[in-house]
Structure 1
Amino acid sequence: MILQPDRDGAGVGELIKLGIVFVRRQYLVILVTAALVTASSLIYLRLVPPTYTAQVQIILANPRAQFLQQQSLLSEPLVDVAQIETQLQIIKSRATAVEVINQLKLANHPDFKAPDLSLSSLQRWIQRWRSDPLKDAQSAAPNQPSETTIAAFLDRLSAGRISYSHVIEVNFSSSDPVLSAEIANAVASTYINGQLSAKFDATRTATSWLQDRLRNLGDEALTAERAVNAYKSQNNIVSPGGKPIGEQQINELNARLVAARAQTSDALVKLKGYETILQTGSKSSPVAGLPEALGADVLQSPIITSLRQQYLDLARRESEWSTRYGRDHLAVVNLRNRVRDLRTSILEEVRRLAESSRNDFEAAQQRQQELEKQLTQAVSHSRLTNSAELTIRDLESRSKSLRALYETFLQHYMGSAQQETFPISETRVIFPASAAQTKSKPKTKVVLGIGLLSGLALGILLAFVRDVMDRVFRTTSQLEATLELPCLSLVPILSVSRQQRPAARLQQTQEELSQRIISTVPDIHRAVVGMPLSRYTEAIRSIKLAIDHSPAKTPNQVIGITSALPNEGKTTISASLAQLIGHSGKKAIIVDCDLRNPTLSASVAPKAPDGIIEVANGCCSLEDAIWRDPRTNLAFLPAVRRGPLLHTSEILSDPSICKLFDRLRQSYDYIIVDLPPLTPLVDVRVTAPLIDCYVLVVEWGRTKIDVVQHALHTAPTISDALIGAVFNKTDIKAMARYDAGRSDYYDDSHYIRYGLSGS
């Protein structure tokens, strides 16, 4: 199993490395921007006066006394988010601001007259500018503070809810800490007093309304009661018990009739009992049976009770004596006669009681009939008074409703009167404001921190913009990806002292001129000979190696060196490459084909009488026009400019130039051609038949990418023959800041190890 690398980790590492390289590349921009913004923060802290903020805390929904809650006319408000937001708007209202300003006489205070540069102040200024001053002056009250003072006051006032509690924190900012605390407490006091005043006004209004309503209800209830009494008197249905007279009479008659019927029934039962006793006594034997048949009602008579007791005693004695002396004994017969007499007496007494009971029964029956007659008459009369009773009931119901409503309103009125005498608010101050010991703004640490962070952020942004807008070639990978050409070499920039060092001899002797010997070559052209172990020389060797080992099958004998723009160092690269080849023992010649600006000829052979144009025209032989360098055996064919050349492209495309290059191919191993740049002129485009391959010189950090792309696009024949590009005047140390992937490649220690110098 093959382990795959962690692409995410590698990507993160690459991003970090790119970030570090970006900072190293643009650190000056970032540091300078951060320093400027931080300095601006210090200036701001120096110029802006300090501001002190006082805080006061107010709690909402202060519970009322229990008896007031029961008697309150107004419902208790539920404190929710909307209610709290409403209270916050009241605290921050213009009414509160005007009252506090007038109370503390703040209209002339400097804090409320100084100009404010905030956005809200700018908006208010625009509104005032667009409004009508005369109309505003007419609408403003004489004792009211100005709009500027009110706006300045409200800008310094803030109120907010603390977390999810019912506590509101009121803040006020001022340059005077004592004044800020005084104003904050005044705002809280004004708000609480406003709440009390509003509740007192509402209660007073409710009390006044209740007084009027109670007066009306009392009059209406009294009128209704009087109407009830008048109707009762008019219809003769007034009764002391509060019920209609007909109904009361019927109820009384019903009760009396029930009692009469009960008496009649009792009398009838008693009469029938007596008659039963009499019938039983007349049928029974003269001696026995009667005392045992007497009922409970009969036994209640004391006479019958005494006679019965005597009867029972004589009957017991008669029974005993009959057993002892016989039934026919005289004493027994006398006792039997006496028993018979007692029985007769008892029957007489029962008969008397039965006659009395019959009289009671007849009387009770007569009373029952009389009551039934009266009840019938009362019911008949009650039916005639039903409509009047319905009317009186309606009048009584309305009277009772009005009286109950009057009692309810009277109770609320008494509660309202008590509430007016008990001043309490639903809000109170739980933490009054005090003079602040430290300024609230500007906060030094916060301003400096924000300034530093903003400066770094702005610096990074500017550095990023600068990096994005840097449309020049910086890295080899950028060049290869953009131009689709290999980067043949990184030619380092030589030190200024070496570039500006004068030639060994400024004047050529007559002998050197006659023999066409090069003796005034600038040191920069001889750098490959004077510093063979330098990094510059190694870069030129890399160019020669790329020429010798080009992928093309044909040998690259004629090499054209060009660039997109002038002053990119193509002439120096041409001279150095030719010097290197000549110093290695090969036969090399450098030809100056920049006919309009023969810089190489002016620096190497300024006194040359003839050049490539004279040779092509046949005015001079090739040998008489070639100059030689005795140190490297390098041949040089200059371009002599005697006047303005108008058709240089025609000259370079002439067949005589082709013949000249054919002769050079036969005589030299390498022919280095210093060509003009691509963009200003079209001369390079006509040299395709002459050149085997081209090398494009690009100045590091200066040549625009779009310019090079446009130059190659307009010269397709040259683009096809290019074997690669060369980075010239490269800042090797700066390359490490741009090419993060190859930063180790630019370290001088690798070259020093093999005896090469850094330049």
Structure 2
Amino acid sequence: MAEVVNPVEARDVDDAGFDVLSFIADFRRYILLFGLVFIAIFALILVPLVTQAPKYTAEASVMIDPRIVNTTPGKEVVSDLPADTATIDTEVEILKSTALAERVMTDLDLDQDPEFNPYIGERKKFLGFIGDSQPIKKATTADEADARHQVIINKILKRVSVKRQGATRVINVRFTSLSPSKAAAVADAWARLYLVQQQEARVSTTRDASNWLDSRLTELRAQVETAERAVQQYKIANNLMSSEGATLTEQEISNLNTQMAGVKLDEAAAAARLSTAKRQLATGSSGDDVGEALNSGVVHSLRTQSAEVSRKVAELESRYGPRHPEILKAKREKEDIDQQIRAEITRIISNLEAQVQVQRQRRGALEQSVSQTRGTLAGNNRAQVRLNELERDAMAARTIYNSYLERFKETSSQEGNNRADARIVATAKRPTNPSEPRIPLSIALAFCGALGAATTVVMGRRALDRTITTSNEVELHLAQPYLAGLPLLNVSLDKAAAKMDPSTYLMEKPLSVFAEGFRTLKTSLIYGRNGERAQVIAVTSALPGEGKTTASICLAQVIAMAGQSVVVVDCDLRRKSLNKFIGHKVEQGLLEVLAGMATIDDVVVDGPGGKLKLLPLAQDTDTTKDVFGSLVMDYLIHRLRRRYDIVILDTAPVLPVVDTRVLARKADVVAMLVRWRKTPREAARSALQILIDSQAPLSGVALSQIDVHKQAKYAYGEGAFYYEEYKDYYMQ
């Protein structure tokens, strides 16, 4: 027996990749459904589009201007917009913002326009004729008012389109309205209010910056005052007050050093004078030539007197003798004067010594003062470290304050600068032609929508179709060889078919396409098993109503017409379907033969046309015994083999009845019928799996009750697809 593929494995094939041939076949199969859905959806989309009220679109253009015009000194608070892509895209989003839409709505009173406010006026009749017109109620709560307000804004935003013009800095603002004038007015207002919004934003930002700087300056001013007050208080507390760039202690030390230098000079001069005078006296001088004496008026006067007395003595000595009273008197007078001179010189020396002593005392006092002041200065220097910190803090606070003060002055000067970073380059013109409805676009949209919907419906219908239609699907979904396609005998095949049964039709039209289908089945079954000739053929199906008995009779008729002896055995204990081909009540049949109550010759009757034989089941005989699994059944089949060229077993359906599982193993080949576009794939798979598990000699699957005209539409790429091309080859 040929290798049989497990049909369960075919389940994985259901999800195979996209197959062009299958898609074309499915399209042809559901062409009517596709057409109906396409026409319906096309009309549903197109009619509302082309019958809507005409709308007009106006366009205004603004340009982001990166050029900087400095009209105020210093750096501006709000920098100019750069011309990069991100900035321009940001401005596009601002132009589409709700805030700008609200400004336009308020500026043009669009909330009072019924085109944008659906809550104005009366509610229209449903579909234009059902119900009465009713006034629309006003909003009663804040939430309801906000919701209605948002509805109006959304309607306005749906009408506006903001797009960048290529890679330029130009942004186009388009607005669509039922009125061409209104469209132009709104587009212009949109661009104008965008610039106003920019100006207000710049002014507001500058004002906010100025106010912030002012408050910050107040804080910094207090910090500066606190820092400088701390410096002054620290100076006072630590005696670090200064004048002319130096502290008072430093100035005092400087003054003391100056005084010390003067005192030292005075002391040295006094000591020098004293030393000179003493040195002169020590060398035998009478003191007349002592420097201080020379400068003394008393000594000078006494010396004058002494000189006068000496002249007088000399004059007296020239006239008188040495003992003359006048001469003695004059000499005594001169001695007194000299004594006075010596006393005066002694006093001068003492005075010089006193001066030296005074200068020494002054120097000592100054040295003590300098020492004390230096100690004070050392303490001041230690305190100066902290003072330097306080002064640095105060200087830093002052520097920050000055920088903020300068920036505040610059910002204040810019408060009147309301320059925008964009400008209008084109105002909106009143459109003369409507922009909607666009007939070509509407047709294209309707076509695409209808095509998509129809394709979706067809694909959905295809996904829901779990039946078998073509030979490819037999092999794809059931993983079994395709034996033959058995046409449905109906008016579409032949008008005469409605008046006769299939076996009679075969005899009258043996060269018809109907007969050719059974000849194909015969060839596939009898000669298809590796060149071995099959003699016992079992015909079965998954479910009732798939045409097993009719197929068995027609197959037997074709075999009989070929000159072979053939018998059809009714093995369906419940339906007993062969009886309808006999024409009289069957009293004895298969069960009676198996029970030994009758012979084969007693029960075999002629079939339609008299060339084939039928072994029926008695109408009034039933049994619950396993008659098909018995040795008697085996012996009966053996005897039938010897008597007839071909034995056809018309069995019961596999799924509802267990008899076929036993009987199928006794045949040479088993043909399973699957009703075209009727039997579910899952049922066919289950039946095939049962036969395989029962080790039945399964030959393949034949499709029954095929509408050959429809099959030609479905079986794209298969032989049946070309039926219309070769149908005239058959004799009808």
* TM tier relative to shorter chain: 0.5 to 0.7
Equivalents in 2 of 1:573, 1:716: separation in Å? 22
1:712 correspondence with 2:707: no
Match for residue 567 of structure 1?
545
CA distance in structure 1 between the partners assigned to 2:564 and 2:206 by the alignment: 118
2:565/2:646 contact within 8 Å kept: yes
Deviation at 1:656, TM superposition (A): 4.2
Cα distance in 1 between the residues matched to 2:211 and 2:553: 114
1:430 match = 425
- The Cα of 1:57 is off from its aligned counterpart by 1.0
Who is 1:80 aligned against? 83
Shift of 1:574: 0.9
Spell out the pairing of 1:364-375 with structure 2 (5 A cutoff). none
Match of 1:478 among 469, 473, 495: 473
* Distance (whole Å) between structure 1 residues aligned to residue 66 and residue 647 of structure 2: 103
Residue 462 of structure 2 is aligned to residue 467 of structure 1:
yes
Following superposition, the deviation at residue 549 of structure 1 comes to 2.4
Offset of residue 569 of structure 1: 1.5
Bigger shift: 167-176 or 475-484? 475-484
Instruction: Report the 3-state secondary structure (helix = DSSP H, G, I; strand = E; otherwise coil) of the residue aligned with 1:533.
Output: coil
Distance 1:454 1:738 in 2: 25
Whether contact under 8 Å (1:735, 1:746) holds in the other structure is no
Alignment of 1:136-535 (within 5 A): 136=143, 146-197=149-200, 425-480=420-475, 482-496=477-491, 523-535=501-513
Shift of residue 211, structure 1, vs aligned partner: 13
Measured against aligned partners, the alpha-carbon deviations of 1:163-203 in whole angstroms (never above 9, x if no partner) come to: 23222222333332222221222222223334445556778
8 Å CA contact 1:170–1:184 kept in 2: the answer is yes
2:653 equivalent in structure 1:
677
Cα distance in 2, alignment partners of residues 503 and 56 from structure 1: 76
1:433: Cα distance to partner? 1.3
Do structure 1's residue 29 and structure 2's residue 33 form an aligned pair? Answer: yes
TM-score normalised by length of structure 1: 0.58
Instruction: Give aligned pairs, total.
Output: 521
Tell me the TM-score normalised to structure 2 length: 0.60
Tell whether the 8 Å contact from 1:71 to 1:416 is kept in structure 2 after alignment.
no
Q: Aligned partners of 1:565, 1:202: CA distance in 2, in Å?
A: 84
Question: 2:209·2:411 contact (CA, 8 Å) conserved in 1?
Answer: no
Cα deviation for residue 152 of structure 1 reads 3.5
Q: Percent identity?
A: 27
Q: CA deviation at 1:95?
A: 4.6
Specify whether residues 479 and 62 from structure 1 end up closer, same or farther in structure 2 by C-alpha distance, changes over 3 A only: closer
User: What CA distance in whole angstroms lies between the structure 1 residues aligned with 2:479 and 2:148?
Assistant: 76
- How big is each residue's C-alpha offset from its partner over 1:530-568, in whole Å with a ceiling of 9 and x where there is no partner? 111112222222333334424368753332211122121
Instruction: Report if aligned partners of 1:49, 1:175 keep a CA contact under 8 Å in 2.
Output: yes
- Residues 499 and 524 of structure 1 are in contact (CA less than 8 Å); yes or no, is this contact kept in structure 2? no
Q: Does 1:616 align with 2:594?
A: yes
**1:82-121 counterparts in 2 under 5 A?**
82-85=86-89, 87-88=91-92, 90-114=94-118
**CA deviation profile, 1:263-306 (whole Å, cap 9, x unmatched):** xxxxxxxxxxxxxxxxxxxxxxxxxxxxxxxxxxxxxxxxxxxx
Q: CA deviation at 1:102?
A: 3.0
What SS class does the counterpart of residue 623 from structure 1 fall into? helix
Equivalent residue of 1:474, what SS? coil
d(CA) in 1 for partners of 2:646 and 2:662? 20
Name the counterpart of 1:636: 614
Q: CA deviation at 1:524?
A: 0.7
- CA separation of 1:134/1:572 partners in 2, compared to 1, >3 Å: closer, same or farther? same
Matching residue of 1:602 = 580
The 1:655–1:107 alpha-carbon spacing in structure 2 relative to 1, beyond 3 Å, is same
Distance 1:23 1:745 in 2: 13
CA distance 1:47–1:642, shift in 2 (3 Å): farther
1:113 offset after TM fit, Å?
2.0
Quote how far apart the aligned CAs of 1:630 are: 8.0
One-letter code aligned to 1:669: D
Summarize deviations over 1:297-321 as a string: whole Å, max 9, x none: xxxxxxxxxxxxxxxxxxxxxxxxx
User: How big is each residue's C-alpha offset from its partner over 1:579-622, in whole Å with a ceiling of 9 and x where there is no partner?
Assistant: 22323333222222222112221233343332222333344443
1:173 corresponds to which letter in structure 2?
A: T
* Contact map agreement 2:541 2:674 (CA 8 A) in 1: yes
> 1:708-732: CA deviations, max 9, x gaps?
2211222336653123332222333
Distance in structure 2 (CA, Å) of the matches to 1:625 and 1:205:
115
CA distance in 2, matches of 1:136, 1:583: 89
Deviation at 1:426, TM superposition (A): 4.4
Aligned residue among 656, 678, 685 for 1:702? 678
Counterpart secondary structure, 1:605 = coil
Instruction: Measure how far apart 1:523 and its partner are.
Output: 2.5
SS at match of 2:152: helix
Cα distance 1:631–1:474, how it changes in 2: closer, same or farther (>3 A)?
Answer: closer
Q: Is the 8 A contact 2:175 2:184 kept in 1?
A: yes
Q: Deviations over 1:413-453 (max 9, x none)?
A: 89959x96x98654332211123334444533223212211
User: Which SS does the other structure have where 1:585 is aligned?
Assistant: coil
For residue 40 of structure 1, what is the amino acid of its counterpart? L
Q: 1:496 to 1:678 in 2, by over 3 A?
A: farther
Q: Distance in 2 between matches of 1:171 and 1:24?
A: 46
Partner in structure 1 of residue 523 of structure 2: 545
Query: Does the 8 Å CA contact 2:206/2:411 hold for their aligned counterparts?
Result: no
Q: Which amino acid aligns with 1:105?
A: D
- Preserved contact between residue 207 and residue 416 of structure 1 (Cα < 8 Å): no
Q: Report the Cα offset of residue 570 of structure 1.
A: 1.4
**Structure 2 Cα separation of the partners of residues 207 and 584 of structure 1:** 113
Give CA deviations for 1:489-540 in whole Å, capped at 9, x if unaligned. Answer: 2222222378997998xxxxxxxxxxxxxxxxx5212222111111222222
Q: Distance in 1 between matches of 2:595 and 2:212?
A: 127
- The corresponding residue for 1:731 is 707
In structure 2, give the amino acid aligned to 1:433.
A
1:17 is displaced (CA, Å) by 5.4
Query: Closer, same or farther in 2 for the Cα pair 1:51/1:585, shift >3 Å?
Result: same
Gaps of at least 5 residues in structure 1 are 1-13, 117-131, 218-234, 237-397, 505-521
- The root-mean-square deviation of aligned C-alpha atoms, in Å, is 4.7
Q: Is the 8 A contact 2:673 2:704 kept in 1?
A: yes
- Closer, same or farther in 2 for the Cα pair 1:160/1:532, shift >3 Å? closer
CA distance in 2, matches of 1:414, 1:468: 72
C-alpha change, 1:576 and 1:423, in structure 2 (3 Å) is closer
- AA matched with 1:429: I
1:90 to partner: Cα distance: 4.7
Residues 662 and 181 (structure 1), Cα distance of their counterparts in 2 relative to 1, 3 Å cut = same
Supply the AA of the counterpart residue of 1:474: T
Deviations 1:686-740 (A, max 9, x none): 2246433322222222222221221122233665312333222233344444444
Native 8 Å contact 2:39 2:450 kept in 1 = yes
- Tell me the SS of whatever aligns to 1:720: coil
Name the structure 2 match of 1:392: none
